[in-house]
């Protein structure tokens, strides 16, 4: 009888490193099992987390609309979406990684390094807007690929690899920047953080930051739900050994998912440095935790094999709605952290014991 692989992110990689024939344990003749087979509702498991976070977001928005008059204004709602864009882009990559039964603690540092690389390329070599943006994306892609190679072929848990890469990349960002903020972004770069599509004098448009977030979300959603590679990630996260026996190339899938996470970190860096107008080695501090929080709050299981991009976007919006509501009510950063931490714990408990889980 083959055991279900639900060891989580700390033991996931040991599953596919094992070799040899699988044993089949048979019960003695005439023996009957006293434990009924676990009940599982795949549809409930897939939808319950997303619906729960969406319901909580709507309830919170209604409460804040009545308690804080400025919350429901179009300008404030737009600001919430813009502020959530960077974390939402990072969380799209984090979602794919966690679905595969892994975790990426380095995305914040990768975003900071990609931003520094883009700013230095503009300052030292005169690169324009699109060249600098390309440097940010390629830097993230390269680091993510290295992380995936070490994780997959080194057979080391992703928690350890990405924890180490977080320090390595943050140090590299400090060396590249000289531990100072890098300004001098090319003219027009601010459009990614403050520009609006179809906007003009007296006419509101769609912020490019939101458009970039939607591009990342739609692209990742299609990759996860409509491609063979995306389905393989769910299979790996659900049962690594079964995925291996079915012919899925685990190393190739893992390298690809970490490379994509790095690419999206570079993509997020474009928005981040555009809004800050400078690049800093400290720009990504805490963002990896926000990305994980948005992913988990949105219904993606930390045990792997379950989740999706719509819930992740809702999770990012929920986190920034809490922060915005606290700011409007005059609450400082400490109550914000406490509330967001409580929401994360409730989300994990819901994932562990909510509808669609094994009883």
Q: What is the pLDDT of residue 184?
A: 87
The CA distance from 224 to 94, in Å, is: 12
pTM of the prediction? 0.85
The CA distance from 111 to 154, in Å, is: 24
Q: What is the pLDDT of residue 69?
A: 83
172 φ, ψ (degrees, to nearest 5): -65, -40
Calculate Rg over the CA atoms of the chain.
22
Q: What is the pLDDT of residue 356?
A: 58
Q: What is the pLDDT of residue 13?
A: 43
Q: What is the pLDDT of residue 280?
A: 95
Tokens representing 63 are 């409460």
Q: What is the pLDDT of residue 335?
A: 87
Tokens representing 47 are 């939808």
Q: How many Cβ atoms from other residues are within 10 Å of residue 32's Cβ?
A: 5
Q: Please name which of 113, 313, 136 lies closest in space to residue 219, comparing C-alpha atoms.
A: 313
- Domain boundaries along the sequence of the chain: 80-191+211-353
Do the beta carbons of residue 9 and residue 305 sit within 8 Å? Answer: no
Q: What is the pLDDT of residue 144?
A: 98
Full DSSP string of 176-196:
HHTTS-B--PPTTTTHHHH-E
Point out the residues of the chain with pLDDT beneath 70.
Answer: 1-49, 354-359
Is CATH 3.40.50 what the domain over 80-191+211-353 is classified as, yes or no?
Answer: no
Q: What is the pLDDT of residue 48?
A: 64
Q: What is the pLDDT of residue 62?
A: 94
Q: What is the pLDDT of residue 61?
A: 93
Q: What is the pLDDT of residue 357?
A: 58
The CA distance from 190 to 44, in Å, is: 43
Q: What is the pLDDT of residue 78?
A: 94
Strand partners, 200: 203
Chain length of the chain: 359
Q: 192-225, pLDDT tens digit by residue? A: 999 998 877 777 789 999 999 999 999 999 999 9
Do the beta carbons of residue 50 and residue 356 sit within 8 Å? Answer: no
């Amino acid at each position: 009888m083959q055991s279900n692989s639900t060891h989580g992110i700390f033991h996931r990689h040991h599953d596919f490193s094992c070799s040899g024939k699988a044993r089949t344990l048979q019960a003695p003749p005439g023996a009957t099992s006293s434990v009924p087979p676990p009940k599982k509702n795949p549809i409930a498991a897939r939808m319950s987390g997303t619906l729960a976070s969406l319901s909580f977001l709507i309830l919170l928005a209604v409460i804040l609309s009545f308690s804080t008059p400025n919350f429901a204004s179009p300008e404030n709602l737009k600001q919430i979406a813009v502020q959530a864009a960077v974390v939402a882009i990072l969380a799209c990559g984090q979602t794919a990684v966690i679905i595969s039964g892994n975790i990426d603690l380095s995305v914040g540092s990768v975003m900071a390094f990609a931003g520094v690389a883009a700013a230095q390329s503009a300052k030292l070599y005169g690169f324009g807007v699109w060249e600098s943006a390309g440097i940010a994306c390629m830097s993230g892609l390269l680091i993510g690929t290295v992380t995936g190679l070490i994780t997959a072929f080194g057979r080391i848990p992703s928690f350890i690899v990405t924890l180490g890469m977080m320090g390595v990349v943050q140090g590299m960002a400090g060396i590249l920047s000289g531990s100072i903020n890098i300004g001098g972004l090319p003219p027009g770069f601010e459009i990614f953080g403050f520009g609006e599509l179809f906007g003009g004098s007296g006419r509101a448009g769609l912020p490019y930051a939101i458009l970039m977030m939607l591009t990342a979300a739609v692209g990742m959603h299609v990759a996860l739900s409509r491609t063979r590679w995306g389905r393989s990630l769910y299979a790996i996260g659900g049962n690594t050994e079964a995925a291996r026996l079915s012919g899925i190339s685990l190393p190739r899938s893992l390298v690809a998912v970490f490379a994509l996470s790095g690419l999206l970190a570079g993509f997020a860096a474009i928005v981040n440095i555009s809004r800050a107008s400078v690049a800093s080695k400290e720009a990504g501090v805490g963002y990896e935790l926000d990305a994980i929080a948005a992913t988990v709050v949105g219904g993606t299981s930390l045990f792997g094999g379950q989740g999706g991009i719509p819930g992740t976007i809702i999770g990012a919006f929920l986190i920034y709605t809490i922060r915005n509501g606290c700011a409007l009510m005059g609450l400082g950063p400490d109550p914000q952290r406490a509330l967001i931490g409580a929401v994360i714990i409730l989300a994990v408990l819901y994932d562990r014991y909510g509808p669609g889980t094994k009883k």
